């Protein structure tokens, strides 16, 4: 996949593109990233890219001509016949980035390449947006000083979707949000950390029990940390809206039963046999194990 980045701070990208997963993807030729300096497309001696806003007011506005020239040059460099790269302006006004959007952009990128436009200053001249931008993308509802960090976020998230970049295909499949649910907790050596032991089931060698534990813990984590995701998932599962369900989660009947059980636990902890927070703490952070009261009848 080819990604071109337009910025007035190309030096920000050096270490990012040379390091870790993105660095390796570039080294292996799975990803090609080209960083272009917007100032190379200016025509004045000072290589200026901004000016005062018409109508007055504070802040400077990025001028249109360097942007138009730069985006067109980048598009020409990576056009495949009639198909030109998808042009994305990073902006707090864009549609909010989530996992579904990342996958959509990864598909577009694979088909036609991407151009990422990093704005700075107060704004970019509106005529840039109207002529050479296909889509505005925001990484969240807060304002940064420029689009460079958002562009890095996008490059890293998209590169994880490029086949071969993440070693185990399963880890992308299991990433938090992949199925609309958060990930289950993970443990590694040593077996005991400050009195907290690894849940027994994970060292039992019983793969079916481990899978059930992970599904249950993914639901539990989602319910506790992001109940909004679960609500969305349930609504969609109930409505069976195929188009949206494809982008979000489809709970399996087993997951739905598990969720109902978790809900019962929450409403009637004693009856359902759920350990209280302090009990869980005393239990070294372990969750109830197969065979404990709360899981009986499950396996
Ligand atoms: N530029 C400034 N803030 C931004 C944000 N939140 N997302 C994307 N681009 C931005």
Q: Who contacts 69 (Cβ-Cβ below 8 Å, separation ≥6)?
A: 41
Per-residue pLDDT tens for 209-268?
Answer: 999 999 999 999 999 999 999 888 777 776 765 555 545 455 777 777 887 887 787 777
**114 touches 2 (CB < 8 A):** yes
> Is residue 228 flagged as an active site residue?
no
CA pair distance 114, 179, nearest whole angstrom? 25
Best residue for ligand 1 mutational test, from 105, 118, 142, 147 (most atoms within 8 Å of Cβ): 147
Q: What is the DSSP letter of 80?
A: B
Indicate which atom in ligand 1 lies nearest the CA of residue 140: 6
Which of the residues 99, 156, 175, 183 is marked catalytic? 175
142 lines ligand 1 (CB under 6 A): yes
143 lines ligand 1 (CB under 6 A): yes
Kindly report whether the peptide bond that precedes residue 104 is cis, defined as omega within 30 degrees of 0: no
CA pair distance 140, 191, nearest whole angstrom? 37
191 lines ligand 1 (CB under 6 A): no
Measuring from atom 10 of ligand 1, which residue has the nearest CA? 91
**Is domain 2-169 in CATH 3.40.1280.10, yes or no?**
yes
> Whole-number mean pLDDT of the chain?
86
> Is residue 298 flagged as an active site residue?
no
Ligand 1 center from residue 124 Cα (angstroms): 13
- Max Cα distance, the chain (Å): 77
**Least confident among 23-27, 124-128, 211-215, 294-298:** 294-298
Beta strands at 50-51 and 32-37: parallel, antiparallel or unpaired: unpaired
Measuring from atom 2 of ligand 1, which residue has the nearest CA? 144
Enter the pTM of the model: 0.81
> Is residue 206 flagged as an active site residue?
no
Of the candidates 294, 238, 283, 225, the residue with the CA atom closest to the CA atom of residue 261: 294
Per-residue pLDDT tens for 149-174?
Answer: 999 999 999 999 999 999 865 666 66
**H/E run at residue 246:** helix 242-247
Per-residue pLDDT tens for 174-205?
Answer: 666 667 889 999 999 999 999 999 999 999 99
Q: Is 161 helix (H, G, I), strand (E, B) or coil?
A: coil
Strand partners, 5: 35, 116
Of the candidates 147, 161, 98, 93, the residue with the CA atom closest to the CA atom of residue 119: 147
Q: Per-domain residue ranges for the chain?
A: 2-169, 192-295
Of the candidates 215, 231, 212, 235, the residue with the CA atom closest to the CA atom of residue 223: 231
> Is residue 160 flagged as an active site residue?
yes
Ligand 1 center from residue 91 Cα (angstroms): 4
Q: Who contacts 270 (Cβ-Cβ below 8 Å, separation ≥6)?
A: none
């Amino acid at each position: 996949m080819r990604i071109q980045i337009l910025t007035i701070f190309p030096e920000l990208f050096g270490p990012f593109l040379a390091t870790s997963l993105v660095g390796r993807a570039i080294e292996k030729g799975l990803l090609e990233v080209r960083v272009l300096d917007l100032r190379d497309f200016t025509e004045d001696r000072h290589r200026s890219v901004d000016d005062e806003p018409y109508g007055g007011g504070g802040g400077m506005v990025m001028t249109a001509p360097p942007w138009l020239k730069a985006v067109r040059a980048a598009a020409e460099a990576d056009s495949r016949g009639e198909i030109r790269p998808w042009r994305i302006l990073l902006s707090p006004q864009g549609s909010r980035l989530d996992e579904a959007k990342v996958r959509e952009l990864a598909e577009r990128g694979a088909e036609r390449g991407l151009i990422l436009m990093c704005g700075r200053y107060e704004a970019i001249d509106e005529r840039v947006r109207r002529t050479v931008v296909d889509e505005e993308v925001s990484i969240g509802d807060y304002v940064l000083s420029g689009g460079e960090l958002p562009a890095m976020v996008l490059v890293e998230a998209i590169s994880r979707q490029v086949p071969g970049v993440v070693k185990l295909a399963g880890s992308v499949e299991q990433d938090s949000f992949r199925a609309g649910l958060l990930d289950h907790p993970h443990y590694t050596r040593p077996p005991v950390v400050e009195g907290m032991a690894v849940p027994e089931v994970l060292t039992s060698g019983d793969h079916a029990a481990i899978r059930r534990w992970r599904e249950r813990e993914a639901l539990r984590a989602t319910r506790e940390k992001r109940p909004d995701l679960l609500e969305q998932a349930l609504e969609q599962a109930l409505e069976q809206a195929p188009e949206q369900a494809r982008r979000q989660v489809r709970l399996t009947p087993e997951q739905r039963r598990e969720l109902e059980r978790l809900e019962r636990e929450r409403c009637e902890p004693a009856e359902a046999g759920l350990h209280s927070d302090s009990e869980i703490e005393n239990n070294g952070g372990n969750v109830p194990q197969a065979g404990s009261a709360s899981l009986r009848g499950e396996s």
